[in-house]
Amino acid sequence: MVRNVKIAVDIDGVLLDIVMNFCDIFNKKHGTSYTKNDITNWEFYNDWNISEEEAFEIFFEIYQNSMSVPFIDDTAPEFMEKLNKDHDVHILSARTSEYRTQIIEKLNFHNIKKGEQYIDLILVHHKPYASKQDYKFDVYVDDNPHLADAIKKMKDRYLLLYDQPWNQDFICENNIIRVHNWKEVYEKLVFINFKLNLW
């Protein structure tokens, strides 16, 4: 019997291009000219000589004003809806829960709606970096190389690593698959569904 595959979709770096806003705010504050391509690792704020606390103050400012964050791929709602018809798509994000209202408003604006594109929105703390592994999903769509490193040890799970400058050093093999857009996400998930339902 074919079973529903449980899929966890990240927000930042997969649906929303939050680092674009981060660079804008940081540059205005510090007189720098950083771009998204300068963020080459997960703890990039160490390279920029600021504390994690200051970095997250900027992230929280962006969370509060989520409507200004660019959307990554306009085809995402279409493919998420297709996936959610046959499987169980959830949004699993390391965003602070106090900004739940703002992110729901932003997702709705881009036609990513509860009951159509996803079943539920789950918000977790950003640390430890791989905490999403504690949620029992079959497939994760995420840009976090730390989560990818954890999932690669779990042979019954997959992670589609959404291509970003900060995960280029991660070697994708076996159950970790690099994707560049939502068309690729959908195509890889069709393949993974076939494999999962053979077990």
* 89-105 residue pLDDT tens: 999 999 989 999 999 99
**What is the structure's pLDDT at 196?**
73
| Mean pLDDT over each residue of the chain, to the nearest integer | 93
Residues 78 and 170 in one domain: yes
Kindly list the distances between the CA atom of residue 157 and the CA atoms of 26, 57, 97, in Å, as whole numbers in the listed order: 37, 33, 26
Please give the average per-residue pLDDT across 77-92, as a whole number: 96
Q: What is the CATH number of the domain that holds 187?
A: 3.40.50.1000
Same domain for 84 and 129, yes or no, is yes
Q: Please check the confidence at residue 68 and state whether its pLDDT lies above 50.
A: yes
Res 128: pLDDT: 72
More confident residue, 95 or 181: 181
Q: Are residues 10 and 90 in the same domain?
A: yes
What share of the chain has pLDDT > 70, as a percent? Answer: 96
Q: Positive or negative CA dihedral for 167, 169, 173, 178?
A: positive
Q: Is the pLDDT of residue 7 over 80?
A: yes
In degrees and rounded to multiples of 5, residue 154 shows phi and psi of -110, 105
In whole angstroms, give the CA distance from residue 28 to residue 124. Answer: 30
Q: Is residue 199 over pLDDT 70? A: no
The answer to whether residue 1 is domain-embedded is: no
Do 42 and 126 share a domain, yes or no? no
Claim to verify: residue 78 and residue 56 sit in the same structural domain: no
Both 122 and 38 in one domain: the answer is no
Say if residue 32 is in the same domain as residue 115. no
Q: What does the block give as tokens for 163? A: 């291509």
pTM score: 0.94
Residue 184 covered by a domain: yes
* Range from 51-55, 185-189, 193-197 carrying the lowest mean pLDDT: 193-197
What per-residue confidence (pLDDT) applies to 127?
Answer: 76
Q: Which domain holds residue 34?
A: 18-68
Which residues lie closer than 8 Å to 178 by C-beta, 6 or more apart?
160, 161, 163, 172
Peptide bond into 145 cis (omega under 30): no
